[in-house]
Amino acid sequence: MAAATSITRFSRHIASIKQRLTPAAISVLQSRSLNLQEYQSKGLMRDHMVNVQPFEIASTPDEAIALAKKMNVDEFVIKAQILAGGRGKGHFTSGLKKGVHLTKDVEEIGNLASQMLGYRLITKQTPGEGVPVKKLMIAEALDISKETYFAIVMDRHYNGPVIVASPAGGVDIEEVAANSPELIYKVPIDIVDGINDQQALELAKNLKFSDSKVNEAAEQIKRLYNLFLSVDASQVEINPFGETTDGRVVCFDAKINFDDSAKYRQKDVFAMEDLSESDAREIAAAKSNLNYIGLDGNIACLVNGAGLAMATMDIVKLHGGEPANFLDVGGGVTEQQVYDAFNLVSSDKAVKSILVNIFGGIVNCATIANGITKAARGMNLNLPVIARLEGTNVDEARKILLESGLNITPADDFEDAAKKAVASIQ
């Protein structure tokens, strides 16, 4: 019973954290990931001979108008560039509905751009307050006759890449996945053999491309797979992967993600990282190699291990406190990282107290204690610090804290630490 309650609370925590986070931040819980903007993804696709429409990128309404005037097209599509999906059904803090607009009127582009740029776009996939829009894509609007869903993901279950595809693509793909799972195809691809012609052709047929277009769609599928491999992506998602009334096969939207393990081989790709939507605290944490997620409370938590970090946040909440962050300093933590972690959490004005909860296994508690005392002295910290250290070299660690003469409250256990942290701000 007790275990069940604690698991429920644990998953509620994860759910509530995830709700507030961008996909980029969620993956902090395992490894860091890189998400590219649509225009960056399409640049890579173009390099790999995947069909994307010519596009321009504007940062001001005037620039948007000027670029559109140079494009010789009947109708334009204007798309807010943010890392989250669901833009078509989103809304801006300016009041404008939809992050994707079609128009034939060049002047209307200026009008739309001025209600998009500088405002926040809120979609199902963004945090509640939305994310700032700094760039717009302008491209030719085409008459789409068929919207399919196509993705390639690295899948742990299959130990390799899997193609996930559906003939019912477009903005309602989430509902299709939930209500009509029979319309979603999953095709595992052998990483050594790669995708073969027959698999690609069968997929194109299942996606219900027109008979005269299945070969071209199959060719695009193979090129997308080659792109996925050659850039070491963890995910390539095209929704919609479509056909136009005049018989073109086009990738209308694109989302390519990577994880950290690709970084050393894909320097050019990682150099494109756009941090303008990220929490400043999370950027600082990433520089120090700390797993950090900013939250809304006032008790900073500095913990080793993601599970212990979750449990610490849990017990803080149980005793009436609100955690200011999730922070896992990891197993191989150094004194410098402890210093950086203190710097990070204490520079957050909302933080009123710091709770350290370390279980020394691989971690040496004395390393943590030295980091704490150096940080407290170095930055003239005058926030209460509650430290619960247990495990490897704990006696030495306690001695370091005690002899430091600093105002650090030792705690005997988990619960004691949480109670003292909550009491320290009352």
Binding at 297: pick from Mg ion, ligand ADP, none (beta carbon under 5-8 Å per type): none
Is residue 237 among the annotated active site residues?
yes
Q: Which stretch binds Mg ion (CB under 5 A): 223-231, 247-255, 341-349, 413-421?
A: 247-255
Instruction: With CB under 5 A as the rule, give the number of residues binding Mg ion.
Output: 2
362 annotated as ligand-binding: yes
Q: Which stretch binds Mg ion (CB under 5 A): 67-75, 252-260, 358-366, 368-376?
A: 252-260
Among 63, 147, 219, 237, which one carries the catalytic annotation? 237
CA–chain centroid gap for 283, Å, is 12
Q: How far apart are CA 125 and CA 127, in angstroms?
A: 7
Reply yes or no: is the peptide bond before residue 167 cis, omega within 30 of 0: no
Residues forming contacts to ligand ADP in the complex (CB under 6 A) are 53, 77, 79, 85-88, 100, 102, 139, 141-142, 144, 147, 170-171, 239-240, 252-253
CB 354 within 8 A of CB 383: yes
Q: How far apart are CA 334 and CA 332, in angstroms?
A: 7
Q: Which stretch binds Mg ion (CB under 5 A): 18-26, 246-254, 258-266, 337-345?
A: 246-254
Binding at 286: pick from ligand ADP, Mg ion, none (beta carbon under 5-8 Å per type): none
CB 326 within 8 A of CB 309: yes
304 annotated as ligand-binding: yes
87 annotated as ligand-binding: yes
Sign of CA dihedral 272, 273, 276, 280: negative
330 annotated as ligand-binding: no
Q: Does 239 engage in binding with Mg ion (CB under 5 A)?
A: yes
Q: In the structure encoding, which two tokens stand for residue 334, read together?
A: 């150094």
**Residue 119: phi, psi to the nearest 5?**
-105, 175
Residue nearest to Mg ion (CB): 253
Q: How far apart are CA 162 and CA 234, in angstroms?
A: 11
DSSP state of 97: B
Min CB(85)–Mg ion separation in Å: 6
Sheet strands (E) in 233-384: 235-244, 249-251, 255-259, 291-294, 299-303, 325-328, 353-360
Among 149, 225, 292, 339, which one carries the catalytic annotation? 149
Is residue 149 among the annotated active site residues?
yes
Q: Which stretch binds Mg ion (CB under 5 A): 45-53, 236-244, 260-268, 344-352?
A: 236-244
Q: How far apart are CA 285 and CA 158, in angstroms?
A: 33
CB 35 within 8 A of CB 336: no
Question: Pick from 77, 82, 75, 86: which is nearest to 56 by CA?
Answer: 77
Interface pick for Mg ion out of 253, 277, 282, 328 (rule CB under 5 A): 253
239 annotated as ligand-binding: yes
**Comparison of 88 and 410: residue with beta carbon closer to ligand ADP:** 88
CA–chain centroid gap for 366, Å, is 34
Min CB(32)–Mg ion separation in Å: 24
Min CB(268)–Mg ion separation in Å: 25
**Residue 55: phi, psi to the nearest 5?**
-140, 160
Cross-strand partners of 33: 259
- How many other CB atoms sit within 10 Å of the CB of residue 30? 11
Q: Does 147 engage in binding with Mg ion (CB under 5 A)?
A: no
**Comparison of 76 and 342: residue with beta carbon closer to ligand ADP:** 76
**Comparison of 33 and 41: residue with beta carbon closer to ligand ADP:** 41
**Comparison of 239 and 325: residue with beta carbon closer to Mg ion:** 239
Min CB(53)–ligand ADP separation in Å: 6
Residue count of the chain: 426
**Comparison of 252 and 292: residue with beta carbon closer to ligand ADP:** 252
Min CB(127)–ligand ADP separation in Å: 16
**Comparison of 86 and 188: residue with beta carbon closer to Mg ion:** 86
Sign of CA dihedral 220, 226, 231, 233: positive
Question: Pick from 181, 170, 121: which is nearest to 148 by CA?
Answer: 170
Q: How far apart are CA 292 and CA 239, in angstroms?
A: 31
**Comparison of 86 and 330: residue with beta carbon closer to ligand ADP:** 86
Angle at Cα 308 formed by Cα 307 and Cα 311, nearest 5°? Answer: 90
Min CB(273)–ligand ADP separation in Å: 20
Min CB(254)–Mg ion separation in Å: 8
Catalytic residues: 149, 237
Q: Which residues of the shown chain bind Mg ion in the complex (CB under 5 A)?
A: 239, 253
Q: Which residues are annotated as a binding site for GTP?
A: 53, 86-88, 142
Annotated binding site: 53, 86-88, 142, 239, 253, 304, 361-363
Summarize the annotated binding site for substrate as residue ranges. Answer: 304, 361-363
